[in-house]
Amino acid sequence: MNFLAHLYLSADDPEIRLGNFIGDFVRGRDFSNRFSPAIVKGIELHRAIDEFTDKHPTVLQSKERLRPKYRHYAPVIIDIFYDHFLAANWHSYQRQPLPDFAAECYAYFDKNLAVLPEQVKWMLPHMVRGNWLVNYAKVEGIQQALNGVTRRSKFDSKMNESTVELIAHYEDFKNEFQEFFPLLKDHTSRFLAID
């Protein structure tokens, strides 16, 4: 799952949401002394989401469609594709309009810059300016996201070419997302219920 799904799956707690948002940028296992308990819970939630997603057979099926060309970059691409399907069908999952949800997230992160890891502080203005969360709903927005990931990649990943596969296998990817996402929601709900 990419940024939008992680944010959505954080329930309505802004601190958990922030922790879930920065999860990829926090290294190690001993970070409880650096963040509030709710942000720690969000970081742990991020890791639980990634672990559940990475092992799920439906997600593996999506990845296998891309693996011949994109090899170990297939999981990164699928995370972004799945955010597209969440954004494009947002009204099926959330009452709050996506632009309002995105603006609320951006504003909260901006108010809490002091706790954001340096990489996130660098990325956030680009994210807000490009309105990534809202633009994931369009294939063009996914293309922009993949262009950015490709630029930052150390190797020739060709991830920016993968929207060709998204379009060619759109219904397959969409069906896999729709099969998987309710299971992930249940998993995160159970995780958040644990104290």
pLDDT above 70 covers a percentage of the chain that reads 98
Give the structural domain span for 112.
57-193
Q: Is residue 28 part of a domain?
A: no
Radius of gyration for the chain, computed over Cα atoms and rounded to the nearest angstrom: 16
Banded model confidence at residue 57, pLDDT cuts 50, 70, 90: very high
What H or E segment, with its residue span, contains residue 40? helix 37-55
Please count the structural domains in the chain.
1
What digits encode the pLDDT tens for the residues 160-172?
Answer: 889 999 999 999 9
What digits encode the pLDDT tens for the residues 67-103?
Answer: 999 999 999 999 999 999 999 999 999 999 999 999 9
Tokens standing for residue 39: 């942000």
Q: Is residue 11 part of a domain?
A: no
Q: Is residue 30 part of a domain?
A: no
Banded model confidence at residue 8, pLDDT cuts 50, 70, 90: very high
Q: Is residue 43 part of a domain?
A: no
- Asked whether residue 149 carries a pLDDT value surpassing 70, the answer given is yes
Q: Is residue 26 part of a domain?
A: no
Banded model confidence at residue 195, pLDDT cuts 50, 70, 90: low
For residue 56, what are the CA distances in angstroms to 4, 51, 60, 71? 19, 9, 6, 18
Q: Is residue 94 part of a domain?
A: yes
